[in-house]
Structures are given as structure tokens and as C-alpha cells.
Amino acid sequence: MKLNINDTFNKELPSDPELSNERRQVAQATHSYVEPVVPTHPKLIHFSNEMVEAIGLTEEEAKSKEFLEIFSGSKIYPQTRPYAMAYAGHQFGNWAGQLGDGRAINLFEVKHNKKRWSLQLKGSGETPYSRQGDGLAVLRSSIREYLCSEAMHHLGVPTTRALSLMLSGDDVLRDILYDGNPAYEKGAIVCRVAPSFIRFGNFELFAARNDTKNLKKLTDYTIKHFYPHLDGATKETYIKFFKEVADRTLEMVVHWQRVGFVHGVMNTDNMSILGLTIDYGPYGWLEGFDFGWTPNTTDKQNKRYRFGNQPNIGLWNLLQLANALFPLVEDAEPFEKLLNAYGSNFEKQSLEMMHSKLGLKIVSEENGKLFADLEENLVATETDMTIFFRLLSNLKKGQPDKSLETVAKAFYNPNEINSEIEERWKVWFKAYDLKLQEENDKDDTRKASMNAVNPKYVLRNYMAQLAIDKADMGDYELIDELFNLLKRPYDEQPENEKWFAKRPEWARHKVGCSMLSCSS
Ligand code: AMP
Ligand code: MG
């Protein structure tokens, strides 16, 4: 198994001279060298054939003993030096100080087909940043990250990827509900992959310590490798860099809103500097359309990270990044301008996104009313977001009276649709039909364009849970089935129609399906 190793992060940036993994504050370093813990009995559960190829391996090699050893952390690839990154962050709106890779260990960077990939094991044991944690991950959360990160990629959402999912063979103690009932669960290791895992928090760490020298080193490094079209270490470059991060962050959040993804823990340590969805923890998929929904039980009180608040939090997090980069520019105005622009850019992109979801080509601000009315109707009774938008593409121009029937499957409890709500829907479908009449597109053309942005299949919370329950019993077939299903989320796949269904009632209040904690 030959990989084209091309390390830059640990070669070009300052490392922590201390080599023990004792918990500590690490100063003036971007990373600490650590070795993954050797798992007792590692077993490969699944690999992503696309990512195997992306890093220059074959499927044959992915089934080899060496692959198992390297990506379970049993062996270190020759001439590489694994490390944990140092970062800080704001958690739930509060400054949390140093955090860092507490249960992630970067193995190496690979260059293949002109692309750089950083490979990182999640759940490979303690690091200086593990704080009270054990550095391990359980099977349940590893399956969730593995399936969802690949699914998000196929939905066209910027995201970190996953290479492999392994069982460690070791048991891990977790208190899922934080209610004093810890239990042993199977341990697992995901190898995740991204051009870089640098987060907003990496910059915040140096800024908080007034370490402008290393802040500059890290920023110059990030620009050199990941924003290479911005050249020169000047103030203008840093501003342009911030602008691009802001644009990418916004783009990512708009995608989340489009597909109904709720991240759940948008702390600044979970914000990628490349605008990738990162750190799949207590995330969830909207079933009933609801701006107030959050899957994260840890956030039940304030619902800071609820669906409808994600765009605002993106902005709040960018403000923290701007504060962190400020010492490199020493002028607040350009940052303020860009942060102000975020608001109007969001309005514009969100409007465009809604037009695309409704198959409207003529973009007009006036349609804002149509969208607001739609959202009001969607929340009037429990309505499945994915099913609603997918079925909406089946409407025929000039037949608004038949529309409610066309989307009927999206309503959780049809009895809830009383005559008043029915009337509201009729009014809305009439207004929508008038818009459709103004467009040139034939029904079929509109349907195709809508189906390219409204997925038919997403990783509903209960689907991941079914795969987890089976995997707990040693049956991994459903992982493979869902993995393949979610490779083509926009395709009809009539053979998979059973997954185009509302969440079953048993899953409504089940742990893992509607309630998730950070305990992973
Ligand atoms: P998260 O909420 O998953 O983004 O994690 C926040 C911080 O806690 C990060 O610094 C993680 O590395 C750390 N962390 C989370 N779980 C563990 C664990 N089991 N062991 C060690 N550190 C952890
Ligand atoms: Mg994190």
C-alpha cells in the first residue's frame, strides 16, 4: 500500500516540544505529536470506495491487512508523525479557552491527482487536549458521522469526508443521557478526510494569547495551501481571506437550510476554515418542518443551534473569527463591512435557494411573501420537509385544486388539517400556480430542476438508528444499504421507495432518533 505522503501542517508549523499526552495547556504550537492507541481487535466495517480512490488506493488495498492496521491506528505509516491540533473556541456562546483535538489524531497528508487530503482518526485515544475525556468514540456516533458525512457530499453540501469505519474491539463507557446511568458500548474509529481540519478555533487560540507571531504563521500557512490565489502576506490579503471564509461559511449554511440539516453544535471549534460541514455529533435532519427544532438535548433550553438560527450563528461565529484575525489587520472597518454584507448576502442567497426549491426561474424579491406564507403553512401542522418539497415537483400547472392531494403524503396527521388550514393551503397553491403560469418551463422541465435540489432521500435520524441497532448486533448490511442509497439522494430509486417515508411513530421520542447528546 503506497501512499503519496505530503505532510505540510506538521512540517511547516511549530510543534509542541513536549511529547507526553498528559493533559495540559500548550503554548506557541499548532499541534502536539501523539500516537494513536493500538486497538485490541480492530475490524473493518465499511470503507468509502470514492475516498479510497481519492487518496490513491484501490479497493483491493482497502481490504488489506495494512489498510486495517494504518486506519485503525494499530501501525504508523512509515515516515509520518501523527499529531493532535491545538485550538480553542466559543462553546454555546461562551469563551471556552483551549480545546484541541481531544479524540482526533491526524495521521498524515496525502497528495493525489493534484488534491491534498489530510487523514484523521476519530476515536484513537488520548491527547494533551482530551481534558476529562478518554479520546475514544463509540460505534453509534461513528456510524452517524461515517454515513452522514458521505451523504452530505452526495447532496452537494461542502463537508469533510470519511474513508473508513472500524470497530476497535474495545468497550467504551458512556452516559448517553447524562443521567448517571453509564453503560459500556462498542468502540469504533472513523478515518475522516478533508483538505484540512483547521477550524476558526485554531486562530482564536493564538489571538486569545496575544501570540500574533503564530497567528500570522497559521494564517499564512492556511492561505498558502488552501487559498493560494490570494497571495502576499499583506493586510489586504487577510481581509480577502476573511471574505472568502465568510462566503464559504454562508454558502454551507444555505445548503443546510436547503436540505434540512441541523448541525446541532455550531461552536467555533466546529467551524471549518474551508467552509466544510465538520464534526458530526448530535446533528439531525428536519422531519416536520420547524425553524425551532434542534436535535441536541444539551441545547434544549436555549435552542441556540436550532434550524432557523443557523444562519445567525454562522455570522456570530464569523465575528469571532474576525476578532481573532484583527491583530493581523488592526483595522475593524473592513471586517465590519464584510460582516454587514453577510446579512444581505444571506437574504439574497436564501431567496435564490427558495426559488430553486419551488422551481421558479424568475427571481424576484416579491416572492418573499409566497415563501413566508408557505413556511407558515408548513408549520401549521406537522409536515415532512423532504417529502413535501419532493412531491411538490409533481404539481401540474393550472391545477391548483389537485395540489394538496399531490403532497398529502407529507402530512404526519392528516386529521390536523382542518377546514381553515385547508383553505390556507388552497390559497397558497393558487398563488403558487399563478407564479408557475408566468414561467416558460413545462411541467417536466420544472420537475427535473426541482428534483435536482430537493433530495428524495436523506439520512433520517431513525434510519441511522436502525443501522446502529443492527450493527450493535454485528449486522452491518444496513450500513452498506444506506451508504449506497445516499450516494444518489436526488435519484428516484423506486426500489428504495421504503426510505421515502415519514419517520415512524416509534421513533418520535426515541433516544438517538429525536434526542441526541454530545456524549459520543
Ligand atoms: P465536540 O463537541 O465533539 O466538538 O467536542 C468539543 C471538545 O471536546 C473538543 O476539543 C473535543 O476534542 C473534546 N472531546 C469530545 N469528546 C471527547 C472524548 N471522548 N475524549 C476526549 N476529548 C473529547
Ligand atoms: Mg468538535
**How confident is the model at residue 151, as a pLDDT?**
98
**Whether residue 125 has its Cβ less than 6 Å from ligand 1:** no
**Whether residue 138 has its Cβ less than 6 Å from ligand 1:** no
| Last residue in a domain, options 295, 321, 356 | 356
Report yes or no on 85 lying in a domain: yes
**How confident is the model at residue 119, as a pLDDT?**
98
| Last residue in a domain, options 318, 335, 356 | 356
Residue from 131, 140, 168 to probe ligand 1 pocket by mutation (most atoms less than 8 Å from CB): 131
Does residue 50 sit in the same domain as residue 171?
yes
Q: Which amino acid is residue 91, in one-letter code?
A: Q
CA distance 396 to 211: 62
pLDDT tens digit sequence for 206-237: 999 999 999 999 999 999 999 999 988 899 99
269 is catalytic: yes
Q: Which of 293, 514, 508, 307 is nearest to 412 (CA)?
A: 508
**How confident is the model at residue 298, as a pLDDT?**
87
Does residue 261 sit in the same domain as residue 344?
yes
From 16, 101, 220, 269, active-site residue: 269
For the CA of 135, the nearest atom of ligand 1: 20
CA of 515 to the centre of ligand 1 (A): 19
Pick the residue whose CA is nearest to atom 6 on ligand 1.
Answer: 99
Rounding to the nearest 10 degrees, give the CA dihedral for residues 190, 191, 194, 200: 60
- DSSP conformation letters of 307-340: GGGHHHHHHHHHHHHHHHHHHHH--HHHHHHHHH
Neighbours of 231 (CB within 10 A): 11
Does residue 337 sit in the same domain as residue 228?
yes
Report yes or no on 271 lying in a domain: yes
**Whether residue 105 has its Cβ less than 6 Å from ligand 1:** no
Report yes or no on 515 lying in a domain: no
Low-confidence ranges of the chain (pLDDT < 70): 518-520
DSSP 82: -
**How confident is the model at residue 517, as a pLDDT?**
72
Does residue 351 sit in the same domain as residue 367?
no
Does residue 139 sit in the same domain as residue 264?
no
Report yes or no on 242 lying in a domain: yes
Does residue 172 sit in the same domain as residue 255?
no
**Whether residue 278 has its Cβ less than 6 Å from ligand 1:** no
| Last residue in a domain, options 170, 200, 230 | 200
**How confident is the model at residue 520, as a pLDDT?**
66
Rounding to the nearest 10 degrees, give the CA dihedral for residues 437, 442, 445, 446: 20
Does residue 46 sit in the same domain as residue 146?
yes
Report yes or no on 172 lying in a domain: yes
Q: Which ligand is nearest to the CA of 88?
A: 1
Residue from 103, 199, 304, 518 to probe ligand 1 pocket by mutation (most atoms less than 8 Å from CB): 103
For the CA of 123, the nearest atom of ligand 1: 19
**Whether residue 299 has its Cβ less than 6 Å from ligand 1:** no
Q: Which of 267, 271, 441, 239 is nearest to 341 (CA)?
A: 239
> Cβ(30)–Cβ(15) under 8 Å?
yes
**How confident is the model at residue 131, as a pLDDT?**
94
Number of domains the chain is built from: 4
Does residue 222 sit in the same domain as residue 101?
no
- DSSP conformation letters of 444-486: HHHHHHHHTTS-S----HHHHHHHHHHHHTT--HHHHHHHHHT
End-to-end CA distance of the chain: 31
CA distance 369 to 317: 29
**How confident is the model at residue 478, as a pLDDT?**
98
Report yes or no on 433 lying in a domain: yes
Does residue 258 sit in the same domain as residue 386?
no
Q: Which of 395, 382, 251, 235 is nearest to 311 (CA)?
A: 251
Size of the chain, expressed as the number of residues it contains: 520
Integer angstrom CA distances of residue 121 from 83, 99, 147, 265, 368:
10, 17, 16, 20, 44
Q: Which ligand is nearest to the CA of 85?
A: 1
Does residue 156 sit in the same domain as residue 173?
yes
**How confident is the model at residue 178, as a pLDDT?**
79
Pick the residue whose CA is nearest to atom 7 on ligand 1.
Answer: 99
**Whether residue 150 has its Cβ less than 6 Å from ligand 1:** no
> Cβ(309)–Cβ(253) under 8 Å?
no
**How confident is the model at residue 519, as a pLDDT?**
64
Report yes or no on 206 lying in a domain: no
Does residue 428 sit in the same domain as residue 475?
no
Report yes or no on 451 lying in a domain: no
**Whether residue 518 has its Cβ less than 6 Å from ligand 1:** yes
**How confident is the model at residue 513, as a pLDDT?**
77
Q: Where are the alpha helices (DSSP H) in 98-171?
A: 139-154
Q: Which domain, by its residues, includes 69? A: 9-200
Does residue 252 sit in the same domain as residue 319?
yes
CA distance 375 to 373: 5
